[in-house]
Amino acid sequence: MGELRELPVVVLVTVPNRDIAEKIANVLVGEHIAACVNIVSGVVSVYFWEGKICRDEELLLIIKTRASLMGKVVDAVRQLHPYTVPEIIALPITSGFERYIKWVEDVTLEN
């Protein structure tokens, strides 16, 4: 019978600029809270905030980590993020290339 393992999650975080993106990515990967952070530029966010529709150019962080490390991800992002209510959402990975999933597990901290 196969070993039951924790599947990773993908965490999405939008940020206002490259400097904030790099700081968050470096902390998460450097402290082994995340295995990888992709920084995607060219994101346009349209959202409702404080009674009006807003539009901002942002960057998107795509963070691969363990579900059990979400608390640490949220804490690190909130410390470095300038927004009052930053987007920090996790999506489950239900399957994937086994060696990649094992790599995410191997390079992130155990809870």
Q: Taking the chain (111 residues) in consecutive chunks of 10 residues, what is each chunk's mean pLDDT?
A: 73 98 98 98 96 98 96 98 97 93 90 55
pTM of the model: 0.92
Instruction: Look up the CATH architecture of domain 8-107.
Output: 2-Layer Sandwich (3.30)
Three-state DSSP class for residue 43:
strand
Tokens encoding 33 = 């809270």
Q: Provide the 8-state DSSP code for 68.
A: G
Quote the pLDDT of residue 2.
52
Quote the pLDDT of residue 4.
59
Quote the pLDDT of residue 109.
83
Measured in degrees and rounded to the nearest 5, phi and psi for residue 91 equal: -115, 135
